[in-house]
Amino acid sequence: MENLNTVTTPVISNLDIARNNLVAEIGSIGEVIQGYANEMNIAFDLYGANGELISKWYELKGKDKKGVKFERDNFKTAMLTHGYETPTVDVYWQRVKEASGYQTAGNRATAESTLDSKTLKDLKTMLNRILNDESEEGNEMSQNAKNDLMYVFTQYFGGDVEKDLK
């Protein structure tokens, strides 16, 4: 009777090859996207006579954008030919743009994104909350901190009590 628990030497199978290929390629997609993005930069970024960057390829308008549109169409056709659907095509095109320097709206720095601007906004909110609360019952800590918060608001953050607070 044959023992089914016997370990035998594994045979290289298609599954082994596929797994090894996957593991070898993990992490390289970013490099491939960056390579394509670099080529897009070289081919389509618009430079002035003195070599200064005038416009990135993803910002071009009108006739200047014609080559980019043609390349985008070629990219989409190649992706669709390989079985990818339009949403996937759009995601990868966005990744190429980002690798070229494009910042999506959610990733752009705004005036409200610095620690100081957020702290100033929070100070305004806290001070307005304290100033608008008429009752002093159960609010002793807030009332005691009010003068210190006003000092920090005006001296460190340049706040104006008359203009900035309600």
Per-residue pLDDT reduced to its tens digit, 82-101: 999 999 999 999 999 999 99
Q: Which whole-number Å values give the CA distances from 67 to 35, 152, 155, in the listed order? A: 18, 55, 54
CA distance 73 to 120: 47
Query: Is residue 46 predicted with pLDDT exceeding 70?
Result: yes
Band of residue 2 on the pLDDT scale cut at 50, 70, 90: low
Domain boundaries, the chain: 14-107, 111-164
Q: Looking at residue 11, what is its pLDDT?
A: 62
Q: CB of 33 within 8 A of CB of 100?
A: no
Q: Residue 139: how many CB atoms within 10 A of its CB?
A: 14
